[in-house]
Chains A and B, each alone.
Chain A
Amino acid sequence: MEVTLKIFRYNPEVDKKWHYETYNLDVDEKERILDLLELVKGHHDGTLSFRRSCAHGVCGSDAMRINGRNHLACKTLVRDVGDKITVEPLLGLKVVKDLIVDMEPFFDNYKKVLPYFINESPLPADGKERLQSPEQRARFDETTKCILCAACTTSCPSFWGSDDYLGPAALVTAHRFIFDSRDEAAAQRMQIISETSGLARCHTAFNCTMACPREIQITKAIGELKMATITGKVS
């Protein structure tokens, strides 16, 4: 089918200002938006730049705005978005070149919530695994799915309007550890996310949940964290 692909372009070494370029392509409706970008890069304009790696929605490299909403380019098919397709970089992070944004602020926020398992107690005497019931494991299953693609954080109006909001992805990571029965640093993390740059900035716009390519119920997870600050319980 014929599609019109409009792509946000910006080359910092050449352009004073961003612009759009439009490509008319003959593609299959089952092709990924990433396939279209590869086609443009391969046959129309080699300078087009974007990140990609796994090409099936698990590495988180190619989050971008497609027809105004955040998606992974490799997990969005032409038939999902129709024959008029506009591709733009994520909002709220500085555009470096074309569809590539500066991810450092995003990862800096991730690093603020102690994004690693903490348990300084002695290991089980037999050297084997720490026990965890299937129910305890299920409690944080959802938030272990995060691939750090930034689709959620960069869809969040509070993140756009703030220099220091941790953003949904960092809160998802905090949730993954806070609700893990084996982890011992819930109180420290609760303190970090209870500061003004944390939970209080979430105004339940639900954009994050809509944007998540892993279908994580992010707003719900943040709600559970908010509830925990009130009740003081994380079970």
Chain B
Amino acid sequence: MVSKMNVHQFDVVVVGAGGAGLMAGLYASRGAKTAVISKLYPTRSHTGAAQGGISAALGNYEEDKPEWHTYDTVKGSDYLGDQDAIEFMTNEAIDAVLELEHMGLPFDRTPEGKISQRPFGGHTNNETGKPVRRAAHAADRTGHMILQTLYQQCLKNKVNFFDEYQVLDFLIVDGKAAGVVAVELATGELHTFHAKAVIFATGGHGRIFEVTSNAYAYTGDGAAILLRKGLPLEDMEFFQFHPTGIYKLGILITEAVRGEGGVLINGKGERFMPKYAPSVKDLASRDVVSRAIYTEIRAGNGANGKNYVYLDVRPESVNKYAALDGRTNPDGTPYTITGEQVLAKLPDIIDFCRVYLGVDPVTQMMPIQPTAHYTMGGIPTNKFGEVVIDDKNTAFPGLFAAGECACVSVHGGNRLGTNSLLDLVVFGKHAGLKAAEYANKADFQKLPDDAESGARSQFDAIRSASGKENAFDISTEMKKVMFDDVGIYRNEKGMTEALEKVRSLKERFKHVRVTDTGKVFNTELLNTWELGNMLDVAEVVASCALNREESRGGHSREDYPERDDQNWLKHTLVWKKDGKVSIGYKPVVITKYQPKKRVY
């Protein structure tokens, strides 16, 4: 039975308290009674791990304009991004970054006291083709400062938080959103959140891969919940592998290292990016750089014969290559950097390398390998955060999504660095506004008699399993096969085997063992439930990747090495129907920029 104590009613419920969820909560709460539910304390969210910056054509050091930002993002997406949405985002970018400053965000400053900006991969002056300083930054903890600032503003504005509540189920009544059901981690009690509008801001699913920069929390919960409800996901084959993760651990080393002049060096001591991207070299977009690293490794040019290369930000190297490239400061003088400046600009990176590698980047090179980093695909939405459920972009009444879990699509086949923080601020805001607007016109749907049943049955299925199988082992096997065979380079044979493997793991998962029978912080049960989500997501990722017979952005097929606009300039939509994966498509929105060959 549902206890009345455990039913809450809000106009808008936001699921997730990272950058997108907090921004949505902040804006929705201005116009409607709003709650933000998070499985973590909000300040633990993964937005806090973002390092290098948030992009906007502020032009604080040099000429820049939103049109250039738009084109760079379209090109970065390998023409799969929807151009109307991209243009919307880059036009909103300047005000979005200024709004963060007005909220108190401690951006680094130019000598005149304006927001400081640094170059980042794929962001260029469209006339010269050279990198442009577009990434507004707070040292190398820009995401941390965005997360803190937004949480603080939510506290100031008295947003209601339910911290450490895991949402398990989304309630649909008569084809409309009716709320969510969550478990309170501290007590194990189920809670029903009756709502007119629900915003999913649940983050990505990078934890399906072995080497990843992503937090443990990144288990694709939102995407999996909606998939099980019969809703589609979009472009799930597109996942970003960031070129520079700490070797073996996958911890992110920001692209800002290269923005500040760092270069990639192979095992022979050669700077190799000019071969792959003659114009912007080490600041090519991430898919290009990750492939270049793998190509070097496959050619036997990995460091010490292994599958890693070096990132070099030692001042003598930076200064040498900056001089060779003719890089200058905004005032036209030659670009140089000192050890102290490296330390001041990249304090966290220095700290990570010292702690985890015992390497000091000011005097030593960093061993790096590509790391699973960002979910380009996700819950399909329009630019107002409304979840759309078919090829005609029909909105699902009362359901919204924003941030990494959503696919607007502004990132298409490959996201540019710094566009994720921009995405979550811009679309978090609009999802919040639109959800409040919707809630103010809509009525509450009547709750089903046993609203908790869907959530309860998910836990019951895990608890009543036969117990032959170990979740840790299933998880380890899934991550390995996904990283090896549905990773940077993909082919039909590898992916077919990976898909079979994931399906066999799903079968084994039905017999998983959970030994903790308690209610208080039953993290074993929760982590096992999260593993179920990851398996569901991994299956559609592998299926969509196998289905797309071309190479585009982060999706690189060895057996189909070219982009094929004739047949594949379209978004994938994927459903689970009667236990089977079903794939459809929808058109890409092209406004100003016709697809052309992508060269950096």
Contacts and interface: CB of A to CB of B under 8 A. Distances in A.
B141 A145 contact: yes
Interface string B137-155: 0110100110011001101
B523 A49 contact: yes
A105 interface: no
A132 B217 CA distance: 36
A132 B110 CA distance: 9
Contacts of A17: none
Interface stretch (B97-105, B289-297, B333-341): B97-105
Given A50-B523, A57-B355, A134 B111 contact: yes
A56 B253 CA distance: 11
Interface stretch (A123-131, A188-196, A198-206, A218-226): A123-131
A96 interface: yes
B44 A53 contact: yes
A147 B520 contact: no
Interface string B513-543: 1111011111110000000000000000000
B539 to A, nearest CB: 22
A60 B515 contact: no
B583 interface: no
B44 A130 contact: no
Nearest to A30: B356
Interface residues of B, number: 61
Interface stretch (A18-26, A39-47, A152-160, A227-235): A39-47
B49 A56 contact: yes
A183 B103 CA distance: 10
Contacts of A177: 104
A116 B515 contact: no
Contacts of B6: none
A77 interface: yes
Given A46-B514, A53-B215, A41 B520 contact: no
Scoring A50, A115, A144 by chain B CB atoms within 10 A of each residue's CB, the highest score goes to A144
A14 to B, nearest CB: 7
Given A60-B44, A107-B41, A130-B101, A147 B144 contact: yes
A14 B516 CA distance: 11
Contact of B521 (A49, A117, A136): A49
Contacts of A53: 40, 44-46, 215-217
Interface in B432-484: 470-473
B108 interface: yes
A111 interface: yes
B152 A129 contact: no
A52 interface: yes
Which of A12, A51, A111 has most B Cβ within 10 Å? A51
Contacts of B516: 46-47, 49
Interface of A: 11-14, 30, 38, 41-43, 45-47, 49-61, 75, 77, 96-98, 100, 103, 107, 111, 115-119, 123, 127-134, 136-137, 140-141, 144-145, 147-148, 177, 180, 182-183, 215
Q: Considering the complex of A and B, which 6 residue pairs feature the smallest CB-CB distances, nearest first?
A: A117-B104, A42-B472, A131-B113, A116-B152, A116-B156, A46-B524
Given A97-B520, A129-B115, 16 more contacts: A13-B520, A42-B472, A55-B216, A56-B249, A57-B352, A59-B45, A60-B43, A61-B40, A98-B521, A127-B95, A129-B102, A133-B109, A134-B109, A134-B110, A134-B111, A137-B108
16 contacts: A41-B524, A42-B472, A50-B523, A54-B216, A55-B251, A59-B49, A61-B40, A75-B355, A97-B518, A116-B152, A116-B156, A131-B114, A133-B111, A140-B106, A144-B148, A147-B43
